Structure 1
Amino acid sequence: MTPNSTVRHRRLASLAAMMLGACVALAQGPNNSGTYYKPADGKSGKSLKTAMAEVIVDHSAISYSGLWKCFYTTDRRSDGKVWDMYSSATNYTMGGPQQGANYKKEGDSYNREHSMPKSWFNDARPMYTDLVHIVPTDGYVNNRRGNYPFGETNGEQYQSAGGFSKLGRSTTSGYSGTVFEPADEYKGDFARIYFYMVTCYEKRVATWQSDMLDGTAYPALSRWALDLLLRWAKEDPVSQKETERNEAVWELQGNRNPFVDYPGLEQYVWGDKTAVAFSYDHYDSDGPSAITEATGGRPATVCVYTIGGTMVRRDVDKAGALQGLPKGIYIISSGNRGGMVKSIVR
């Protein structure tokens, strides 16, 4: 074993104990929510969605101008810059002169993006200022997105720098209109935001207008959109960025996103676990669920280790990194030099 690999092995072994504890905590439910979700205990499917709606719908309304200040807490990168989920080429100073400024191209300014377009709900409140779905993004890329649905595309109409996000004809089965595709590492983030929105506003969502919605309170999402978002949520598990943002929203707005607190919860509401009763204090996501240290960059190939630090796969694609492995606890690292680390329960 080389000196570098020895150091690597020791680092992974030390991380293993810490991450195992994190996984146990996850299985027992979110540590900071207490009995917040207790009213949803024992529910499943449609009833679970309704119960969750009653838990999370009451929250403090933030002013639209107040969102700028909230971003200092919810969307600031570790280097102090704006965390932009639409562009990989921006480097905005939080609150600097580029905040809300005019733009002609990508990189000119950032603004407040309603990730679920406000035109879908006719600019109505409290959705209009709900911090859960409003994030800072590059103004030009945001403008190119417009109010198009999320989806998957070849990006023949537009691509942001490096092809980070794309606009074009949908390649998703069941829908052929124009869609906006975010980067892979944020697809799960946006899926869980959408699950939150159609749950939190269950009593309103049937009146919203979008090709992603079906005009009902349940399932609320059209079949093609639901299948897409369920897949995105599975392929891009909950990250540390999301958990930290969820905590910040809790402090600022007074409610939480249960789909971040309970990775895989969407399967209990819409997926293959709709007949399984939800337990708020002893939750089993049945993998893959993850606690991730997000890097803010595009995902690379990863290596997979056992909880003891033994490498079992090298330089494999993130999306299929765990396919075929026995059920257990694994550590995923973005390469052999450290960086992004995950603890995943399968």
Structure 2
Amino acid sequence: MKRLVTLVTALAGIFAAVSPRAEMPATVVSEAHINNLSGKSGKGLSDAIRKEFKPQKLNGTDGLTCDLQDHFTGRTVSIINGCFPAGYESGEIVPHKWWTYIDEAGGDDIKKDLNNLIPMTADDIRRKSDLLPGKVDIPEFSSAYWSVGIGSIYGKETDLYSPPEQLRGRVARAFFYAAVMYPADIFTPRGYNMMDTDYPYFSVYGKELLVRWSKEYPVTPEEMEWEARAAAMQGGGNPFVKYAELSEYIWGDKAGEVYRVGDDPVPLHSTYHLEIDRVYLSSPHIPADAVWKIDGTTVTSKVLEASEIGIGSHDLEYSSESTGETGRMMIKIVP
């Protein structure tokens, strides 16, 4: 038996093209792409998440009809066809103002991204403004749910807001999402206290706070429901909600380790990055005893650094003694 698998074929264990559509259920959209993250690590994993889960369209809350919890007041908010009740607006978790001065397009995107939006009163939006989240030591405003005031970052006093406890896990995962989906060349001064332009995209303060919150406040059914709604409306949800373990491989205890989906072998991909990826010569569709050649040369290891193979397009061949099956495919290694 022979197979010919070309570069345009999905090499991540899915041998049929899947086109994400905004109206598709979140489970369909996410599961069609999660396998493409297997075998990635570090910045390569972050880049793959951005590629696989980037929203297809952003309309903000236009057309949204649902009841949402406002954790800043403890009230339920009914939104009908995108219209908020009197006194309410669409608020942001990650302030788009941190991007505004440099990248209007990026700032506009995150401002419309449902994965970053929450219902808030106009007064609370004004109080929160573009402050950093954190621990408020000296409140200037406080309620039963949240506070604004003076806290400490790097030993220096600064203005902070302390989010409602029920919202802190979602705040962390929204920041994870924003950092990966909307990286920037530069931030405003306030943004720099939380974010960074280089991978892994957070300051020391931001990483420590968000990783801690993500562990202390795991994903809730409410958060899962909102992620599914965002995925259905935009064509992309927040993978750090649906696959919460992903954050551990970028910022947490497993940072730098290779991400794998379940117990399946890490499948082949079509494209690899020279300095950060490994090539796993395996696939659920190829016999486990397959012998491999790269550009005509037999290789004994089934795990190779992309840098060992080198930049360019490479011809992969395999043959299985147990089944008699042979096959051929192409991969590309880029800088």
1:142 maps to a residue whose letter is I
User: What is the CA–CA distance in structure 2 between the aligned matches of 1:190 and 1:141, rounded to whole Å?
Assistant: 16
- 2:185 aligns with 206
1:190 maps to a residue whose letter is V
Task: String of CA shifts for 1:206-243, please: whole Å, max 9, x gaps.
Answer: 32321344442312111111100000000000111111
Q: Percent identity?
A: 24
User: What is the CA–CA distance in structure 2 between the aligned matches of 1:220 and 1:47, rounded to whole Å?
Assistant: 13
Between 1:176-185 and 1:274-283, the stretch displaced more is 274-283
Instruction: Name the structure with the higher helix share.
Output: 1
User: What is the CA–CA distance in structure 2 between the aligned matches of 1:58 and 1:94, rounded to whole Å?
Assistant: 22
CA contact (8 A) 1:61 1:130 kept: yes
Spell out the pairing of 1:310-325 with structure 2 (5 A cutoff): none
Spell out the pairing of 1:214-225 with structure 2 (5 A cutoff): 214-225=195-206
- Structure 1's consecutive aligned runs of 4 or more residues displaced over 4 angstroms after TM superposition are 171-175
Offset of 1:165 from its aligned partner? 0.8
Would the alpha carbon gap of residues 55 and 92 (structure 1) be closer, same or farther in structure 2, given more than 3 Å must change? Answer: closer
User: What is the CA–CA distance in structure 1 between the aligned matches of 2:76 and 2:181, rounded to whole Å?
Assistant: 33
Q: Is residue 126 of structure 2 the alignment partner of residue 143 of structure 1? A: yes
CA contact (8 A) 1:87 1:141 kept: no
Spell out the pairing of 1:259-278 with structure 2 (5 A cutoff): 259-278=240-259
Spell out the pairing of 1:101-140 with structure 2 (5 A cutoff): 101=86, 109-122=87-100, 124-140=107-123
CA contact (8 A) 1:68 1:95 kept: no
User: What is the CA–CA distance in structure 2 between the aligned matches of 1:92 and 1:275, rounded to whole Å?
Assistant: 41
In structure 1, list runs of 5 or more residues that go unmatched. Answer: 1-29, 77-81, 102-108, 284-346
User: What is the CA–CA distance in structure 2 between the aligned matches of 1:135 and 1:213, rounded to whole Å?
Assistant: 20
- 2:42 aligns with 45
TM-align CA RMSD:
2.4
Spell out the pairing of 1:171-210 with structure 2 (5 A cutoff): 171=152, 176-202=157-183, 205-209=184-188, 210=191
Task: String of CA shifts for 1:129-149, please: whole Å, max 9, x gaps.
Answer: 111101111221221111111
- Bigger relative contact order, structure 1 or 2, given CA contacts below 8 A and separation 6+? 2
Q: Is residue 84 of structure 2 the alignment partner of residue 99 of structure 1? A: yes
In structure 2, list runs of 5 or more residues that go unmatched. Answer: 1-25, 265-335
Residue 91 of structure 2 aligns to a residue whose secondary structure is strand
Offset of 1:43 from its aligned partner? 1.1
Greater C-alpha radius of gyration: 2
1:157 maps to a residue whose letter is E
| Number of residue pairs matched by the alignment | 230
Instruction: Name the structure with the higher strand share.
Output: 2
Residue 132 of structure 1 aligns to a residue whose secondary structure is helix
2:71 maps to a residue whose letter is M
Would the alpha carbon gap of residues 58 and 183 (structure 1) be closer, same or farther in structure 2, given more than 3 Å must change? Answer: closer
User: What is the CA–CA distance in structure 2 between the aligned matches of 1:235 and 1:263, rounded to whole Å?
Assistant: 13
Would the alpha carbon gap of residues 139 and 276 (structure 1) be closer, same or farther in structure 2, given more than 3 Å must change? Answer: same
User: What is the CA–CA distance in structure 1 between the aligned matches of 2:195 and 2:77, rounded to whole Å?
Assistant: 37
CA contact (8 A) 1:155 1:166 kept: no
User: What is the CA–CA distance in structure 2 between the aligned matches of 1:174 and 1:100, rounded to whole Å?
Assistant: 41
User: What is the CA–CA distance in structure 1 between the aligned matches of 2:155 and 2:34, rounded to whole Å?
Assistant: 34
- 2:277 aligns with none
Would the alpha carbon gap of residues 131 and 31 (structure 1) be closer, same or farther in structure 2, given more than 3 Å must change? Answer: closer
User: What is the CA–CA distance in structure 1 between the aligned matches of 2:242 and 2:198, rounded to whole Å?
Assistant: 22
1:112 maps to a residue whose letter is S
1:265 maps to a residue whose letter is L
2:142 maps to a residue whose letter is Q
